Amino acid sequence: MCGIIAYKGTRKAADILLDGLKRLEYRGYDSCGMAIISNNRIETKKDVGRIAEVDKKLNFLKMNGNIGVSHTRWSTTGSVTQINSHPHLSCDRKIAVVHNGVIENYTELKKELVKKGHKFTSETDTEVIAHLIEEDSSFERACLKTFKKIQGRNAFVAMNDKGEMVVAKNGSPLVIGIGSNEYFVASDAPAFIKHTRKIIFVEDGELISLGNAKDQEIRFIDTRYSKDLKKRIQEIEWNVEEAQKGKYPHFLIKEIMDQKKTIMAAATQDYDKIEKIADMINESFGSFLIACGTAGHAALASSYFFSKIANKHINHMVASEFQSHYHFLTDKSLVIAISQSGETADVLEAVKKAKTKSAKIVGIVNVPGSSLARQSNYAFMTNAGPEIAVCSTKAYTSQLSVALLLAYAAAGKMDEGVALLKQTANLVDNMLNQDLQNKTKQLAKKLADKDHIYVLGKGFNYPTSLETALKIKEVSYIHAEGFASGELKHGVIALIEKDTPCIVIVANDDTKQDVLTAALEVKSRGGYIIGISPENNEIFDYWLKVPDAGNASPIVNTIPSQLLAYYLSIERGCDPDYCRNLAKAVTVL
Report the catalytic residues.
2, 584
The Cβ-side half-sphere exposure at 357, using a 13 Å CA radius, reads 23
Give the CA distances from residue 209 to residues 43, 137, 152, 336, in Å, rounded to whole numbers and listed in that order: 22, 16, 21, 35
Contact 43, 36 (CB under 8 A): yes
Distance CA 220, CA 218 (A): 7
SS3 helix, strand, coil % of the chain, rounded to 5? Answer: 40, 20, 35
Distance CA 531, CA 541 (A): 8
Comparing C-alpha atoms, which of 421, 378, 152 is closest to residue 268?
Answer: 421
Give the dihedral of Cα atoms 46, 52, 57, 62; nearest 10 deg.
Answer: 80
| All residues at 6 or more sequence positions from 321 whose CB lies less than 8 Å from its CB, including other chains | none
Distance CA 408, CA 32 (A): 47
DSSP-assigned letters across all residues of 400-452: HHHHHHHHHHHTT-HHHHHHHHHHHHHHHHHHSSHHHHHHHHHHHHHHTT-SE
Q: What is the DSSP letter of 459?
A: G
Distance CA 302, CA 306 (A): 6
